Amino acid sequence: MKSFKFPSTMMAAAAVAALCLAAPASAKNFKIAVGDSAGSTQEVGGLAFKDKLEELSGGEHTATLFLGGQLGSEQDTVNDAAIGTLDMSILAINNITPFSPRVGVLSLPYAMLSLEDAETLTQGAIGDELIEATIEDAGVRIIGWTYAGFRRLTNSQRPVRTVEDLQGLVIRVPKNEIMIDTYKAWGISPTPMAWSETFAALQTKVVDGQDTPYITINAMKFYEIQQYATNLRYLFLIEPLIISEQVFQDLSEEDQNIILAAGQAATEASAQYLRDQEASIQEQLVAEHGMEIVDAANDEAEFIDLATSAVWPKFYDSVGGIEKVNAMLAAIGREPVSE
Residue range 4-16, pLDDT digits in tens: 333 443 333 444 3
Cα(147)–Cα(90) distance, rounded to whole angstroms?
Answer: 11
- What is the pLDDT, as a whole number, of residue 26? 80
Segment 168-187 shows an average pLDDT of 97
Cα(234)–Cα(176) distance, rounded to whole angstroms?
Answer: 15
- What is the pLDDT, as a whole number, of residue 17? 38
- What is the pLDDT, as a whole number, of residue 99? 96
Segment 314-338 shows an average pLDDT of 97
pLDDT digits (tens, 9 = 90+) for 195-249: 999 999 999 999 999 999 999 999 999 999 999 999 999 999 999 999 999 999 9
Segment 98-121 shows an average pLDDT of 97
CA pseudo-torsion sign 33, 42, 115, 119: positive
Q: Indicate the pLDDT class of residue 339, thresholds 50, 70 and 90.
A: confident
- What is the pLDDT, as a whole number, of residue 269? 98
- What is the pLDDT, as a whole number, of residue 22? 43
Cα(114)–Cα(180) distance, rounded to whole angstroms?
Answer: 22
| Percent with pLDDT over 70 in the chain | 93
Reply yes or no on whether the pLDDT at 38 is more than 50. Answer: yes
- What is the pLDDT, as a whole number, of residue 28? 95
Query: Taking the mean position of all CA atoms in its chain, how far away is CA 327?
Result: 23
Reply yes or no on whether the pLDDT at 262 is more than 60. Answer: yes
Quote the pTM value.
0.90
- What is the pLDDT, as a whole number, of residue 1? 38
Q: Indicate the pLDDT class of residue 252, thresholds 50, 70 and 90.
A: very high
Question: Which of 23-27, 41-45, 283-287, 321-325 has the least mean pLDDT?
Answer: 23-27
Cα(99)–Cα(96) distance, rounded to whole angstroms?
Answer: 6
Segment 83-105 shows an average pLDDT of 96
Mean of the per-residue pLDDT values of the chain:
93
